[in-house]
Amino acid sequence: MGSPSGPPFDPDDPDRERRERDTEPIPRVGPDDGPGYGAGPGLSDGPSLSDDVGYGDGPGYAGEGRPGRAWIRDPEAGYQPPQISEDELAGLRADATGATPRRVLPLEDEPSSLVARYLFPTERYRGEWKRHWIHLTNPLLIGVAATFVLGYLSGFLAGQNVGALTTIAVLLWFAVMGWVAWKVADWWYDRFILTNKRVMVVNGIVTRKVAMMPLVRVTDMKYEQTPTGRALNYGTFVLESAGQEQALREIKNLPNPNELYLRVVEEMYEPQAVEARLGKEADEAKADDGA
């Protein structure tokens, strides 16, 4: 038989009691071995963690049954949509004067024929916007400047009996006006579109371009306004996506940027509120028509 392990016994060792306490085996306690872990009030049938007011049916978490445990999601119950109260809906609707607590304009009922061809049947249309008229500033200024300059030049050349140069000046003016008209038409057919699934930009007359980004891939969104943009109520939207290549990132000169920002964010984070508001407005419209 070998000698026991550890240092020799020393009655004056100050750490002896601590070592003995640390190495003492923990007794195994059964259900009937006293009140510590059994039937006493500590962790079993007593009032500490059972049906008392803290976690049970008492007033600690008001309601009927066991509302204190209502926050636990039952995996078999599936997803339950949040309930939108009447007060929350009232805060999103306009009053009789047309004023709203937030700058969210009414949603359009139907898309235009230009936009409808790009929507699939299960997609819910939320609105379309043309760019702000500031988008036409450069073409309009060029047209006005060309009218004054070429008009003065045509009159001057007509007095000099130079018919060929006068004709060239007039044709040049028509060319500039045709370019301005093209820019105005391109602005008219340029639309920013929002649905419940994506944002899109459609532009072009002869060569049509359609760019889109799913709302679920939008990781960040912001809008920027210059001092002129704040005065005239337009801005530039910047959409960030999880992907490296983005077909739609920066959209310039969009009108009502704050209202549009709230519209997109609400569609991303509170789609149930949008559906509830639309349903309520539809019911009110039917009631008014019936009256």
Summarize pLDDT for 221-267 with one digit per residue, the tens.
899 999 999 999 999 999 888 766 666 888 999 999 998 998 898 88
Question: If you average pLDDT over residues 169-185, what whole number do you get?
Answer: 94
The length of the chain in residues reads 291
- Greater confidence, 206 or 64? 206
Cα-Cα-Cα-Cα dihedral sign, residues 36, 38, 43, 49: negative
What average pLDDT is seen over the chain? 74
- pLDDT above 50 (res 219): yes
The residue with greater pLDDT, 153 or 183, is 183
Are 129 and 192 within 8 A, CB to CB? Answer: yes
Q: pLDDT band for 186, please (50, 70, 90 cuts).
A: very high
User: Of 131, 129, 130, 125, whose CA–CA distance to 111 is shortest?
Assistant: 125
In 10 A of CB 212, how many CB atoms?
15
Which residue in 274, 290, 244, 19 sits closest to 124, CA to CA? 274
8 A C-beta contact, residue 235 and residue 259: no
Residue-wise pLDDT tens digits, 13-58: 666 666 666 666 555 545 455 444 444 444 444 444 444 444 444 4
Calpha distance 249→244 (Å, rounded)? 11
* 1 vs 289, residue with greater confidence: 289
- For residues 254 and 15, give the distance between their C-alpha atoms in angstroms, rounded to a whole number: 78
The pLDDT value recorded for residue 12 is 64
Tokens of 117: 């061809």
| pLDDT value for 193 | 94
Neighbours of 169 (CB within 10 A): 20
CA distance 41 to 26: 22
**Strand partners for 194:** 127, 199
Whole-number Å distance between alpha carbons of 263 and 125: 12
Q: Which segment of 2-16, 34-48, 140-154, 211-225 scores lowest on mean pLDDT?
A: 34-48
- DSSP for 41-100, written as a single string: TTTSSSSSSSSSTTTSSSTTS-SSS-GGGTTSPPTTT---PPPPPHHHHHTTS--TTS--
* pLDDT of amino acid 46: 46
In the chain, what is the greatest distance between 2 CA atoms, to the nearest angstrom?
135
No. of helices (H) and no. of strands (E), the chain: 8, 7
What pLDDT was estimated at residue 14? 62
Quickly tell me which residue has 């359609």 as its tokens: 210
Residue 218 parent element (H or E) = strand 218-224
The phi, psi pair for 265, rounded to 5°, reads -65, -40
Q: CA–CA separation, 92 vs 192, rounded Å?
A: 23
Angle at CA 261, nearest 5°, toward 256 and 266? Answer: 130
pLDDT top residue among 186 and 56: 186
- C-alpha 205/C-alpha 131 separation (Å) is 15
Model-level pTM? Answer: 0.58
Give dist(CA 242, CA 220) in Å, integer. Answer: 9
Q: Which comes out higher in pLDDT, residue 223 or 90?
A: 223
Residue range 133-145: average pLDDT?
A: 95
